Amino acid sequence: MTNELKSSTAGAASQASEQKLEYAYFHGKLVPFQDATLDLRNPAFLYGISLFEGIRGYWVPEKRQISVFRMKEHYERLLKNSNVFYMTPELNLDELCQLTVDLIRKNQHDSDIYIRPTLYKSGESITPSLEYTSTEFCLWTKPMGEYLDLEKGLSVCVSNWRRIPDNSIPARAKAGGAYMNTALAVTDARKMGYDDAIFLTGDGTVSEGSAMNLFLIRDGKLLTPSKTEDILEGVTRHTIMTLAKQELGLDTEERTIDRTELYHADEAFFCGTGAQVAAIGHIDNRPVGSGKPGPITRQIQELYFKVVKNQLPQYSHWCTVIDA
Ligand SMILES: Cc1ncc(COP(=O)(O)O)c(C=O)c1O
């Protein structure tokens, strides 16, 4: 069974949404989802020439609101990456945010959602170049529950696939084609019976999870691979470091991490928009601490879910609240 859409509430919401007309933003307007179709010759399809974001919106039932978490930061990252790939989006930061709010309203969601903006190149040349005629932007939303199990303490392996180096395809770009790398690691890990995988860099130091960042806890301190370890500079990673410091008084050390430090860790967890905060119980069949989610991970997880649901006023500037 896939981990996606595991939660029964999201499953129910997804069934309901099958009956409801859903919209996507495509070619400059909101259109029924089934009308948003790409030309087979599109370079995003042919070569993975696209940049994307994954944003979550949390349903707050007592207020009948959706709290979209750190939308601005996701679009800021997308816009920075557009510069790397010669993409010139027509919409600016404010317009992208407003469009997202409009689409969520239009789709009348009443469950947790996933929001997927994509910038891509359009044109009919078969040359895998970035010099296509135009940069397109599309956006869709869908109900989504847990991506990874948050409770059990995941069993993960160190992948024998290495993370793509910055000078090949930058991991920090969140480029569509780069997720072939993720797909290899996660598929092989699951075929071997693990829940997910940890990538090493080409140099053999710890990088990140297949589609999430990684934190270790050693001697009461948080430890995470630095930004130059071929990672995506995660919005959640930044969130965790901020919460750990401000709410728990814990510093995070960002540095190069050796593989065997994974086996020395007292606790470990993945984090990301999709993954949220997911405890790791075993790495390469070795228990991490007790093998169960540890106390600091639990505290961070609890804080994170309060913050994303806009329950801590000091972080409400991170939440865009949309009335259902
Ligand atoms: C490869 C990779 N690393 C890390 C992350 C976490 O990034 P963020 O917290 O911005 O979602 C993601 C996306 O979720 C990812 O795809």
pLDDT by residue (tens digit) across 10-45? 444 444 445 678 999 999 999 999 999 999 999 999
Ligand 1 centroid from CA 191, angstroms = 22
What ligand 1 atom has the least distance to the C-alpha of 73?
Answer: 10
For residue 174, indicate whether it is catalytic.
yes
Residue nearest to atom 2 of ligand 1 (CA): 211
Short-list 250, 169, 180, 172, CA closest to 215: 250
Domain with CATH 3.30.470.10 in the chain: 11-143
Around ligand 1, the residues with Cβ closer than 6 Å are 54, 208, 211-213, 232, 234-237, 272-274
Minimum mean pLDDT among 96-100, 125-129, 222-226: which range? 125-129
Q: Which listed CATH number (3.30.70.20, 1.10.150.20, 3.30.470.10, 3.40.430.10) goes with 11-143?
A: 3.30.470.10
Tell me how far apart the alpha carbons of residues 294 and 287 are, in angstroms, rounded to a whole number.
12
Domain with CATH 3.20.10.10 in the chain: 154-308
Residue ranges of alpha helices (H) inside 234-294 are: 235-248, 259-264
**pLDDT score recorded for residue 19:** 61
What ligand 1 atom has the least distance to the C-alpha of 77?
Answer: 10
Substitution site in 146, 215, 230, 273 for ligand 1 pocket (most atoms within 8 Å of beta carbon): 273
Stretch 164-187: mean pLDDT, rounded?
Answer: 97
pTM check: above 0.75: yes
**pLDDT score recorded for residue 4:** 42
Tell me how far apart the alpha carbons of residues 154 and 210 are, in angstroms, rounded to a whole number.
13
The two beta strands, 206-209 and 213-218, are unpaired
| % the chain with pLDDT above 70 | 94
| % the chain with pLDDT above 90 | 88
Residue nearest to atom 4 of ligand 1 (CA): 212
Q: Which listed CATH number (3.30.230.70, 3.40.630.10, 1.10.540.10, 3.20.10.10) goes with 154-308?
A: 3.20.10.10
Instruction: For residue 203, count CB atoms less than 10 angstroms from its CB and return exposed for 0-12, middle for 13-18, buried for 19 or more.
Output: exposed
Instruction: Work out the mean pLDDT of the chain and round it to a whole number.
Output: 93
* Assigned token pair, 274: 């999709």
Residue 30 φ then ψ, to 5°: -80, 125
Number of Cβ atoms within 10 Å of the Cβ of 294 = 22
Model confidence at 9: pLDDT above 70? no
Tell me how far apart the alpha carbons of residues 23 and 28 are, in angstroms, rounded to a whole number.
13
Number of Cβ atoms within 10 Å of the Cβ of 265 = 22
Model confidence at 236: pLDDT above 60? yes
Cβ 206 vs Cβ 261: under 8 Å = yes
* Assigned token pair, 101: 């709010």
Chain centre to alpha carbon of residue 32: 25
Stretch 44-65: mean pLDDT, rounded?
Answer: 96
Cβ 254 vs Cβ 217: under 8 Å = no
The pLDDT tens digits for 183-219 are 999 999 999 999 999 999 999 999 999 999 999 999 9
Cβ 206 vs Cβ 225: under 8 Å = yes
Minimum mean pLDDT among 96-105, 138-147, 180-189, 191-200: which range? 138-147
What ligand 1 atom has the least distance to the C-alpha of 208?
Answer: 3
**pLDDT score recorded for residue 244:** 98
